[in-house]
Amino acid sequence: MNILLGNGDGTFQTPVNYPFVGAETGSAAVGDLNLDGKLDLVVANSNCGEFDCPMGSLSVLLGNGDGTFQTAVNYSSGDFGANSVVLADLSGDGKLDLAVSNLGPCSSSPCKINSVGVLLGKGDGSFQAAATTAGPTLSGTVSSIAVADFDRDGKLDLALSNRSLMLGNGDGTLQDPQNYNPGTNDGVSEVVADFNGDGKPDLAVATGPFLTVLLNISASAAQDFGMGATPLSPAAISAGGSSTSTITITPMNGFNASVSLSCNTIAPAATPSPSCTFNPNSVASGSGTATLTVSTTAPHVLSDMPTSLLRPGRFGWAAAGSNLLVGVLLLGVPSRRRRRAAGLALVVLVLLVAGASCGSASNSSSGRKTGGTPAGRYTFKVTATSASPQVSHAADVVVTVQ
């Protein structure tokens, strides 16, 4: 494998050769295999000699990000004579996988394809062992493989240049091949594009003397959207606190309508119950995010009564005792004016005793909390709805009020 770095003016630097265990390179593919932001290389080696094609191999060269590559690591292609390789996330886990066509135990030319091998990526630049798929209709030389969601079910499929289509199951496995547009000339190269603007991937296949355009006539899948909700954060709050979740709307099959959001508490019933709000309360064009906020009510504290004025201290009790003593003495004096003064002293004493009693009652209730959202584990149902087309999806989120 020779790497020629570009100078940016249409010229290239001197080739740098990277040796690896393998011969008769059939094709190469590029992608970020270990998710480090640097491009890596995969090379398919048929390893075919003059008279036979031994077990094929795939050489993986991880990139250093500066135009150089690490030493190749080789994997079996799962069958004889690896010919064409392509990178795609066939298992839907966000990691690139390898799909390779194998010629099989070929003893005469031209060799015919015998199997397709899939090596699931681990996300660190390494791969699982190849799982091969073969079928009675899988024949003809494959010079290239194209990847697209041809039946628009959200799962990637493979189109082979020998006029075969293998639909993906979304888990890295493939269905039996289907022949399309049978002809006497196998394709040598193919590209995928929407040539007629109907939103479906079409194929253009070069067959040597001809160029064949194959329009996708599969039925359009119903428009829909996906909905996701992150867990409420924080997961536990005190009454009066709030928690948030991110709601994500993802369009499917050309969906581009507005999606409205709503929320309600489904358990437990409580008064006052938590409330839900969205910002924004709808997602335009069927794609975007909104923030869900769950809010709770804080309890209120009973206010303290100002009883300090009613609670006599030592001086107050001394004054009360003096008044009582004066009253007793004065009651023994037969003067009308003195009897009136003694009666007034008794009234003051009664008022002081009553004030002390009220102060004690007030102190017993001051500082007590009442109301607020009760403690418990609350579940909320978040619903996303589109009016046209009529589509609705829901998800549950949970928060604990302590």
CA 179/CA 207 separation, integer angstroms: 15
Strands 16-17, 2-3: pairing kind: antiparallel
CA-based nearest residue to 200, from 146, 254, 144: 254
Write out the H or E segment, with its range, that includes residue 396.
Answer: strand 391-401
What was the pLDDT predicted at 309? 43
Q: What one-character DSSP code corresponds to residue 331?
A: H
CA 211/CA 219 separation, integer angstroms: 25
Q: What one-character DSSP code corresponds to residue 360?
A: H
CA 262/CA 258 separation, integer angstroms: 13
CA Rg, the chain, in Å? 41
**Maximum CA extent, the chain:** 147
CA 213/CA 220 separation, integer angstroms: 20
H helices of 44-124, in order, are none
- At 287, the amino acid letter reads S
CA 319/CA 349 separation, integer angstroms: 9
Spacing of C-alpha 189 from chain mean position: 37
Distances from the Cα of 258 to the Cαs of 10, 161, 283, 385, in angstroms? 46, 40, 6, 8
Token digits for 271?
A: 């008064």
Q: Where are the beta strands (DSSP E) in 46-185?
A: 55-61, 73-80, 82-88, 97-102, 115-119, 131-133, 145-148, 157-160, 164-166, 178-179
H helices of 270-380, in order, are 314-331, 336-365
User: 42: how many CB neighbours lie within 10 A of its CB?
Assistant: 24
Q: Where are the beta strands (DSSP E) in 194-306?
A: 202-206, 211-214, 224-229, 236-237, 242-252, 259-267, 275-279, 282-283, 288-295, 300-301
CA 134/CA 103 separation, integer angstroms: 11
What was the pLDDT predicted at 310? 43
Token digits for 198?
A: 């109907």
Tokens 């867990």 locate to: 231
Strands 164-166, 178-179: pairing kind: antiparallel
> How many residues are there in the chain?
402
- At 58, the amino acid letter reads L
What was the pLDDT predicted at 279? 96
pTM to 2 decimals?
Answer: 0.56
Does residue 312 contact residue 322 with C-beta atoms inside 8 Å?
no
Does residue 220 contact residue 152 with C-beta atoms inside 8 Å?
yes
Token digits for 237?
A: 């709050």
In this prediction, the residues of the chain whose per-residue pLDDT falls under 50 are 307-317, 320, 324, 326, 328-330, 357-365
What DSSP assignment string belongs to 193-206? Answer: E-TTSSSS-EEEEE
Q: What one-character DSSP code corresponds to residue 232?
A: P
Does residue 150 contact residue 216 with C-beta atoms inside 8 Å?
yes
Question: For 279, phi and psi rounded to 5 degrees?
Answer: -140, 105
What was the pLDDT predicted at 348? 54
